[in-house]
Each structure stands twice: as structure tokens, then as C-alpha cells.
Amino acid sequence: MTNVTSAEAQEQLPGWTVVDGRLEISVRAKDFEGAIEFVNRFADVAEEMDHHPDFDIRYNTIRMRVVSHDVGGLTDRDTKFAAELDKLIDDLELKRQPKKVSRTHLVVVTPDIEAILPFWKAVLDFKESGGEDQPTMLVDRSDVLDPVRFHQRAYANIPEDDVDPSGGPVSMHLDVFVPAEFAEQRMQNAIEAGGKLLSEADAPSMWELADLDGNRAYLRSEQSNT
């Protein structure tokens, strides 16, 4: 098993989207019966390859998320599995829906992660995730709800204009992960809807946005800003 970068995975699998470090795809069948047929054959492939990614079915729409949980990232096992699913998608004539692929993180900014982490674990009943080289996160035990990520930063280091309407430092924001090909249009849509562009220094991999009350969202995509 070999690690695969987001760029390598995206190049090998143009029909899939790398979102938040995972290969994802949304497809639509003609009806519920067609969706179930796909899921049954999907299960056969998963058993044959001994790889069991996540999937969600809503009537005739199936969304799949492929990642190697045991190594905490993408590997050639994931790209091979996704390639097999591509064949199945084409065979059953399912329609790909790239615009329906996205993911969010609630990000809590605090000067002391250890002090507040127990509260959030208790109130959400999430489990802790992350490691030495990864951000501290709380994740849903069933991996259905989006995770909460913690970012440590001293309030003294927060710029003066980085405050909410009450005058206090911004302590939470939303990270929104979208497919690279739709990120800029999503940013434009947010501005046209009354939002404000605070920074595009890291575009096209990230735009910093805010609503009229100063609540912030970071629009992110898996692409280089160089």
C-alpha cells in the first residue's frame, strides 16, 4: 500500500473530487431500485477488495467517500477501489453530480485547547482525533455529522479587526470544503448574496469570507495557490 497525494488522486480519477483529504463522488440513478442495484454491486466490490468506504443513499442518489482510515489518508488502495467503482457507475449508466460534493468543519479558535476540549467532547459525544502532525479534532463516532476542529491561537495575536460585533475576538468560524472547479464560483455567489471578501491571499486554495454580522467562513479547495 502506497500513499497518494490529493493531486495524484485527482489526476488519476477525474470523475471524483478530493475534498478534505478524501475521494468523494455523488451519483444519481434513474430510481430507487437502480440505486439499490448499484449499492448491492458496490458491496460485492468492497468485499472482493477488502476495502469498505462510506456511502450514503437518499432515494436515487448515492454519495461515496473513500479514504484509508487505518493510515489517515489516501493510498493506492483507494484509487484502485474508486477506479473499479467508476466502471460500475458507467456500466449502470449513473449520472455523476460533482456540484453535490462538499464538506464543512466547525473551527474553534482558543488559546488553550486542552482546557475546553473536555466540554466539547461531552456536549457533542464525539471522539478525539488527530495526531502530532495533525490538528486536534472531534469526530462523530458514526462519521455522519461533520467534525469540529480546534485551532490554538493566543487572543493577543489576533488582529484588531478580527473581532465580532460584540467586541470580543472571533472564536469560531466555518471551513467549507468544495470541489476545486466550483470554488471560485461559490465565492462569487457568497459575495453577491451580501458577503464580504476579507482575504484572497491563499486563493485559489482558500478565500476568507464574512457575512454582514462578521461571522466568518473559509472557503477551501484541494488545489495549489502557486
Spell out the domains of the chain, with CATH numbers in brackets: 6-100 (3.30.1360.20), 103-220 (3.10.180.10)
* Whole-number pLDDT of residue 96: 94
Among the ranges given (14-18, 22-26, 133-137, 166-170), the one the predictor scored with the smallest mean pLDDT: 166-170
pTM (predicted TM-score): 0.74
* Whole-number pLDDT of residue 156: 45
* Whole-number pLDDT of residue 166: 43
* Whole-number pLDDT of residue 165: 45
* Whole-number pLDDT of residue 77: 94
Contact present, 102 and 63 (Cβ < 8 Å): no
pLDDT digits (tens, 9 = 90+) for 189-213: 999 999 999 999 999 999 999 988 8
Question: Does residue 226 surpass a pLDDT of 70?
Answer: no
The count of other CB atoms within 10 Å of the CB of residue 90 is 11
CA distance 149 to 109: 9
Q: Which residues pair with 120 in a beta bridge?
A: none
Cα distances (Å, whole numbers) of residue 226 to 14, 143, 206: 21, 33, 12
Cell numbers at 134, concatenated: 495533525
Q: What pLDDT band is residue 152 in, cutting at 50, 70 and 90? A: confident
Among the ranges given (3-12, 103-112, 158-167), the one the predictor scored with the smallest mean pLDDT: 158-167
Question: Does residue 135 surpass a pLDDT of 70?
Answer: yes
Contact present, 79 and 22 (Cβ < 8 Å): no
Among the ranges given (84-88, 144-148, 188-192), the one the predictor scored with the smallest mean pLDDT: 144-148
User: If we measure between CA atoms, which residue out of 185, 186, 225, 190 comes closest to residue 211?
Assistant: 190
Rg of the Cα atoms in the chain: 19
